[in-house]
């Protein structure tokens, strides 16, 4: 039963990163765009599904709260401030998304809010991952780092890196969904964003070696983990070929595969820890009766329905979008 909820948590978190990742990426690119027609196309590309994508963040939180309460409490203690910043960014972004079409004179305010909220949310998520990889200050199962114990140069680097990754994912989504100028602009951005993401990965790997982070020892002890970077490399080559041949479909899937490979590398590197090198899965799990109770409701019915809803939404709103004012 514990392994079942670990899998549910992993799938929920990966779906959030991929789905909300591309619309946060579109929000980041939106801040770099000045042409109104292009902005309309970018909004329309994510309008039907952006709020449903964020549902997977709620699912992740609920699974942690119900199935792994110790991890939930520890992470909330460690990331209380960044979590508030992330939620504020997501709320501001959502409000701006709806309000920008209702005004002309103050539209610039909501445009800045939409891009700024996307930037804050993406950066905080990356910084949190970086803090976990580097290791949180935990003693006797309790977080002892204070309000800024999670903050470090490595966490900041990871925050910037995830912003670049989300922007690349968003650009590939725009290639898939848009036409004409919006698609061409996204095509022009993908090569530089890809190089930026590659540099970030190289810098992170070099930092881990120089600082002798404990995760490096796990990589060396588990050589099969290098299968994931190999998958990411093949995906990157396919991405380059698709961009060169101007094929609109494959780039998004290839970048999503790169994200999935990175996620798989981290997840298996830290096994069996849920909070690296401090709290294991067995230590964090709720009593079996609680896990079983959740299974008969959330596990057996709610989670499959959410998967079906997401798949149906993506299929219903497939195809290219226009540049009309307002959103669908």
pLDDT tens column, 126-178: 999 999 888 888 887 788 888 888 888 989 999 999 999 999 999 999 999 98
State the pLDDT at residue 270: 83
Where are the extended beta strands (E) located within the chain? 138-139, 142-143, 273-275, 279-280
The answer to whether the Cα torsion of 301, 306, 307, 311 is positive or negative is: positive
Residue 328's pLDDT band (boundaries 50, 70, 90)?
very low
Question: Which tokens go with 123?
Answer: 């950066």
What pLDDT, in 10s, does the model give residues 68-114? 999 999 999 899 999 999 999 999 988 888 888 877 788 888 989 99
What pLDDT, in 10s, does the model give residues 183-209? 999 999 999 999 999 899 888 878 777
Distance CA 180, CA 159 (A): 32
Residue 21, preceding bond cis, omega within 30 degrees?
no
Q: What is the mean pLDDT of residues 50-58?
A: 88
What pLDDT, in 10s, does the model give residues 298-327? 888 889 999 999 999 989 888 887 655 555
pLDDT reading at 237 higher than 90: yes
* DSSP symbols for 103-147: -STTHHHHHHHHHHHHHHHHHHHHHHHHHHHH---EETTEE-S-T
């Amino acid at each position: 039963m514990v392994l079942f909820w670990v899998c549910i948590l992993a799938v929920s978190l990966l779906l959030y990163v991929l789905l909300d990742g591309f619309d946060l990426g579109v929000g980041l690119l939106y801040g770099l765009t000045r042409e109104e027609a292009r902005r309309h196309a970018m909004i329309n590309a994510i309008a039907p599904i952006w709020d449903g994508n964020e549902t997977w963040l709620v699912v992740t939180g609920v699974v942690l709260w119900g199935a792994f309460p110790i991890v939930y409490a520890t992470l909330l203690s460690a990331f209380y401030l960044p979590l508030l910043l992330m939620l504020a960014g997501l709320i501001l972004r959502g409000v701006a998304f709806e309000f920008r079409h209702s005004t002309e004179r103050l539209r610039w305010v909501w445009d800045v809010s939409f891009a700024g909220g996307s930037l804050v949310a993406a950066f905080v998520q990356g910084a949190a991952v970086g803090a976990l990889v580097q290791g949180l200050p935990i003693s006797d199962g309790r977080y002892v780092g204070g309000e800024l114990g999670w903050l470090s140069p490595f966490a900041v680097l990871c925050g910037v890196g995830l912003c670049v990754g989300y922007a690349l994912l968003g650009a590939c989504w725009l290639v898939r969904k848009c036409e004409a100028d919006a698609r061409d602009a996204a095509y022009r951005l993908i090569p530089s964003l890809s190089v930026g993401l590659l540099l970030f990965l190289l810098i992170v790997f070099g930092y881990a070696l120089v600082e002798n982070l404990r995760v490096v020892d796990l990589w060396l002890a588990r050589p099969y983990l290098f299968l994931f970077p190999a998958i990411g490399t093949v995906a990157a080559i396919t991405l380059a070929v698709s961009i060169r041949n101007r094929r609109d479909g494959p780039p998004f899937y290839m970048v999503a595969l790169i994200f999935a490979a990175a996620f798989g590398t981290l997840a298996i590197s830290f096994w069996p820890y849920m909070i690296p090198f401090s709290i294991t899965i067995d230590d964090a799990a709720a009593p079996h009766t609680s896990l079983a109770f959740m299974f008969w409701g959330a596990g057996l019915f709610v989670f499959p329905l959410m998967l079906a809803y997401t798949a149906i939404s993506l299929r219903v709103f497939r195809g290219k979008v226009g540049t009309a004012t307002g959103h669908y």
